[in-house]
Structure 1
Amino acid sequence: MGTIKRIVLAGGGTGGHIYPALALLDRIKERYPDVEYLYVGTQKGLESQLVPKRGIPFKSVEIQGLKRSLSLENIKAAWLMLSSTQKAKAILREFKPDIVVGTGGYVCAPVLLAASRLGIPTLIHEQNSVAGITNKFLARHVDIIATCFQEVATDFKNNETKIRYTGNPRGQEVILTPKDDLIIQKQFELNPTLPTVLVFGGSRGAPGINQATIQAIDFMKDKPYQLILATGQGHYQTVMDQLKQDLGELPSNCRVVAYIENMPAIFRQIQLVVCRSGATTLTELTALGLPSILIPSPYVTNNHQEHNALALVNHHAAKMIKEDQLDGKNLFNAIDQVLTNPNQLQQMAENAKALGITNSSDLIISAIESIIK
């Protein structure tokens, strides 16, 4: 087993690719306090903001994805791939890492390809149940493919021997969040002893989910449970104006906020979640054993959120409402049916927990140690 002395992490574009890398790095730093590390991303991606804020050395390459139709942009993308691979080689030669880990996004293509050509051990991490185009491309070049859903193995044909089912490092991170039994009361002035459902549509919110929840709230008066809706910063005032127009006054068992910064801490005191089915969110839900009603985003590549959701639905850990079937009545009925059935709620929680991997970072570290020269 090798020792991790220097590591390069690459991943970008969205938080779903960045947060697992940061969670893994935090665990590596605990295990190897003297480790040196470098993050490679793009200047356009969210990583250019998040990574330097953590005090992590950051370097960038320029890359873009291919268009589905023939265009001059694809010629530019091919040129950027070649030039960024050369730049990545220079970065890696200078830093001399023991391992290069890619957690998704276009930036992984040149960085992991450069590492492979330089003979540096490599690992890619696929968070979704449907593999991204970059990870499919890299599969034959890398040493290990770490996955979060067993279903994704079919996307890596001819590379099955490289697959390690590790889960998502975010899961191991979230279970370490301290529990506060009174956080619902302190943060939202709600009853900490009542079952609570949390509804949100991602960090930016989702208009469809917000609209259905506005309609559902009208059915929730005098129900023996309570609801919190996080609208997203850009949608908050619109939602509040419509609630005032439609209901006049918000029911005493409902709260509406723009954004929740300490989501993992809130998760620990919630009984049911209504949300999208992005990979990082599902990792958190299964790690904590949280039942959910999933509303997959229809605006993602390869419809991967629906596939993610089905991985939980098929194990009776969640229910799913497709966007085109989402309205206030359907949403209310789904929430009401689960929260007024304690046995079903408990079974869903147990099933969700059974799908969670709570030592994901340690599993990935073990995989890394096994291939370090």
Structure 2
Amino acid sequence: MDRYRFILSGGGTGGHIYPAVAIANELKRRYPDAEFLFVGAKDKMEMEKVPQAGYEIKGLWISGLQRKLTLKNLMFPLKLISSLLEARKIVKQFKPHVAIGTGGFASGPLLRMAESSGVPCVLQEQNSYAGITNKLLANKAEKICVAYDGMERFFPKEKIVKTGNPIRTDLVQIKESKKEAASFFGLDGNKKTLLVLGGSLGARRINQLIEKELSFFEKQGLQVLWQCGKLYHEEYKKYESESVKVLAFVNRMDLAYASADVIISRAGAGSVSELCLVGKPVIFIPSPNVAEDHQTQNAQALVAIDAAIMLRESELDEAFATRFSELMESKEMQEKLGEQIKKMAMPKATEHIVDEIEKLLKK
């Protein structure tokens, strides 16, 4: 038997890249001599992140369709044809045993060409509202690994396996106590801590909200660990104080989560899956600027079972202070949200996805 070869594609954002890398790492653990090749979009972050994780990547000349009529959209057919031809060549040369797609436009041409060459394909859909690429690929895929119930409205029911989303391994077991974690960031281990997460790049609207409410948080007796994103760090670092820590990004997410009593976050699929594992009260502020408004759908799936609070960006001015005060004043509400969100955690997601891939190898 020759060595197994796995081809993986997904990108455009960290939410598609991270799951692909996590799946590759688990496959490598089970098959140490397997070969891996990633395929991404030429000018996107996967071209940097995947090699950092120790894998080879090839880039396609592809981008998503813009929602507005732009020159880029006129180029789309040309880019698509070019990417399909390049993807066919890559599949022919690499001869993968299985192709794995984690969403994002870059995975479309690669998975389409793998399917048409008879390579079994596995899709991983992170969101509660399926992305367009995965919807287009679903009919030919062997298995579709999902994180939410009710995904048969997008995919053939018999192909769906509920596995959950891959999680960073350092978060599966958060060992540090709140006091140790707080002192790592220079915070007081005896005070209540609000953790603010705006995604890897930060979120302008969340940052504006936190800036406006700093004195309100102080009155509530809260200290703030504020991940504002590298785009905004220059603008907000002036608020750094004994009780407010302003970070461009958080290197030790396990410690950030351990130090938090309450969390304000975007609702990207990866963040939601991590926060289920953490099991603390969360206020989600979904980004309205993402495809198919999937962050709102992700948050609503938790709100529906009393596992989180959601505020749209448009509601922040009038509703934030009231909703936040209600939460901080009710120990019962805090406990209920923490317990309910924890029930949604699926810490073995990566292993379950790779179990499905293994079944295809044995066919």
User: TM-score over 0.5 for the alignment?
Assistant: yes
Residue 212 of structure 1 deviates from its aligned partner by 1.4
1:224-266 CA distances to partner (integer Å, 9 max, x unpaired)? 442222222232332345x5xxxxx95x533333322222331
Distance 1:285 1:171 in 2: 12
- Which residue of the partner structure matches residue 202 of structure 1? 199
User: In 1, are the aligned partners of 2:146 and 2:163 still within 8 Å (CA)?
Assistant: yes
Q: 1:6 to 1:150 in 2, by over 3 A?
A: same
Q: 1:128 to 1:117 in 2, by over 3 A?
A: same
Q: Which amino acid aligns with 1:234?
A: L
Aligned residues: 362
> Does residue 1:304 correspond to 2:271, yes or no?
no
Q: Secondary structure at the match of 2:267?
A: coil
- Which residue of the partner structure matches residue 214 of structure 1? 211
Distance 1:236 1:83 in 2: 39
Q: Which amino acid aligns with 2:24?
A: L
- The one of 340, 348, 355 aligned to 1:351: 340
Distance 1:318 1:155 in 2: 25
**Cα root mean square deviation, aligned:** 2.5
> Does residue 1:27 correspond to 2:16, yes or no?
no
> Does residue 1:339 correspond to 2:328, yes or no?
yes
Which structure 1 residue ranges, 5 or more long, are not aligned? Answer: 244-248
- Which residue of the partner structure matches residue 230 of structure 1? 227
Distance 1:183 1:333 in 2: 31
Which structure 2 residue ranges, 5 or more long, are not aligned? Answer: none
Distance 1:213 1:71 in 2: 35
**TM-score of the superposition, structure 1-length normalised?**
0.89
Residue 40 of structure 1 deviates from its aligned partner by 1.0
**Which structure has the higher relative contact order (CA within 8 Å, separation 6+)?**
1
Q: Secondary structure at the match of 2:351?
A: helix
Distance 2:92 2:134 in 1: 23
User: In 1, are the aligned partners of 2:40 and 2:58 still within 8 Å (CA)?
Assistant: yes
Distance 1:71 1:54 in 2: 34
Q: Which amino acid aligns with 1:358?
A: P
Residue 171 of structure 1 deviates from its aligned partner by 5.8
Distance 2:168 2:50 in 1: 19
- Which residue of the partner structure matches residue 175 of structure 1? 172
User: In 2, are the aligned partners of 1:89 and 1:115 still within 8 Å (CA)?
Assistant: yes
Q: Secondary structure at the match of 2:234?
A: helix
- Which residue of the partner structure matches residue 16 of structure 1? 15
Q: Between the two proteins, what is the percent identity of the paired residues?
A: 34
Q: 1:330 to 1:5 in 2, by over 3 A?
A: same
Q: Which amino acid aligns with 2:233?
A: Y
1:139-167 CA distances to partner (integer Å, 9 max, x unpaired)? 112111111122433122xx221111111
Distance 1:311 1:153 in 2: 15
User: In 2, are the aligned partners of 1:23 and 1:173 still within 8 Å (CA)?
Assistant: no
Residue 178 of structure 1 deviates from its aligned partner by 5.1
**TM-score of the superposition, structure 2-length normalised?**
0.91
Q: Which amino acid aligns with 2:217?
A: M
- The one of 263, 287, 290 aligned to 2:280: 290
Q: Which amino acid aligns with 1:271?
A: D
Single out whichever of 124-133 and 215-224 deviates more from structure 2: 215-224
Q: 1:344 to 1:20 in 2, by over 3 A?
A: same
Q: 1:318 to 1:155 in 2, by over 3 A?
A: same
Residues 106-145 of structure 1: pairs in structure 2 closer than 5 A: 106-145=105-144
Residue 99 of structure 1 deviates from its aligned partner by 0.7
User: In 2, are the aligned partners of 1:106 and 1:134 still within 8 Å (CA)?
Assistant: yes
Q: 1:139 to 1:218 in 2, by over 3 A?
A: same
Q: Which amino acid aligns with 1:89?
A: R
